[in-house]
């Protein structure tokens, strides 16, 4: 594994364990047996490292949604691909309580990343349920995020089972939604607009 990838992997794990605000570049370098200068060679700052991690997660998620698999499988692939991104956004919660300006900048980077993820999901789901993509994206993201949080905190829950169940409920359970609650129904049997049957 190349040094840049090793740095990203270590940073992702340490951020998830300790929180972004409580992690220093020195700690990441020490965990890898590198100098801080070696980290700076690849990433000019801790924030740049954070941005690279978020970008990497978004790219994996995008590839998952571009697949030709059925909707439920694409969404499951997305959820699995975005695993590290979810963990990273969760780790950034620690930033909210920090007062240092660098941590506030990191929080802004995380919010921008979250907006991009929700935008990607919204555009994707809009093709299946016109006019409801934005809300469905937020609901779906909450299911995925919740599955990761619960499985990390309560060992009796298995992540893959939570993801599969949550996504199945999302895809199949919405077909009978109350029209008063959201206008229209979501039919998972429908293909994206323009797809051949």
CA distance linking residue 35 with residue 27, whole number of Å: 10
Q: Does the structure show a pLDDT above 60 at 72? A: yes
Q: Does the structure show a pLDDT above 70 at 126? A: yes
Structural domains in the chain? 46-177 (1.10.357.10)
Q: Does the structure show a pLDDT above 90 at 136? A: yes
Percent of the chain topping pLDDT 70: 77
For residue 93, the model assigns a pLDDT of 55
The per-residue pLDDT for range 148-174, each reduced to its tens digit, is: 889 888 999 999 999 999 999 998 865
CA distance linking residue 104 with residue 113, whole number of Å: 14
Q: Does the structure show a pLDDT above 70 at 121? A: yes
On whether the CB atoms of residues 57 and 88 are closer than 8 A, the answer is yes
The pair of three-digit structure tokens given for residue 94, joined into one six-digit string: 């620690």
The per-residue pLDDT for range 55-71, each reduced to its tens digit, is: 888 888 888 889 888 88
CA distance linking residue 156 with residue 87, whole number of Å: 19
Residue 131, Cβ density class (10 Å: 0-12 exposed, 13-18 middle, ≥19 buried): exposed
Q: CA nearest 151: which of 18, 53, 16, 12?
A: 16
Average pLDDT over every residue of 101-121 = 78
SS3 assignment, position 159: helix
The pair of three-digit structure tokens given for residue 116, joined into one six-digit string: 């991009």
Tell if the pTM clears 0.85, that is, is over it: no
Identify the DSSP state of 187: -
**Residue in this structure with the two tokens 């801790």, named with its chain if needed:** 46
- Run of H or E including 11: helix 3-18
The per-residue pLDDT for range 171-197, each reduced to its tens digit, is: 886 555 544 344 444 444 444 544 544
48 vs 173, residue with greater confidence:
48
CA distance linking residue 156 with residue 149, whole number of Å: 13
Q: CA nearest 73: which of 167, 192, 187?
A: 167
Q: CA nearest 14: which of 39, 1, 2?
A: 39
């Amino acid at each position: 594994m190349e040094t840049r990838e090793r740095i990203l992997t270590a940073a992702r794990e340490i951020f998830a364990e300790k929180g972004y605000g409580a992690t220093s570049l020195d700690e990441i370098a020490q965990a890898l047996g590198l100098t801080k200068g070696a980290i700076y060679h690849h990433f000019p700052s801790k924030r740049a490292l954070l941005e690279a991690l978020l970008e990497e997660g978004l790219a994996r998620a995008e590839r998952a949604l571009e697949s030709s698999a059925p909707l439920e499988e694409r969404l499951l692939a997305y959820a699995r691909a975005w695993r590290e991104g979810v963990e990273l956004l969760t780790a950034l919660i620690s930033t909210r309580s920090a007062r240092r300006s660098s941590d506030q900048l990191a929080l802004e980077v995380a919010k921008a990343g979250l907006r991009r993820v929700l935008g990607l999901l919204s555009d994707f789901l809009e093709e299946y349920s016109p006019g409801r993509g934005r809300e469905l994206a937020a609901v779906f993201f909450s299911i995925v995020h919740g599955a990761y949080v619960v499985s990390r905190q309560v060992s009796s829950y298995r992540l893959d089972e939570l993801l599969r169940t949550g996504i199945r409920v999302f895809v199949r359970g919405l077909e009978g939604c109350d029209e008063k609650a959201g206008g229209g129904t979501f039919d998972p049997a429908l293909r994206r607009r323009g797809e051949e049957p």
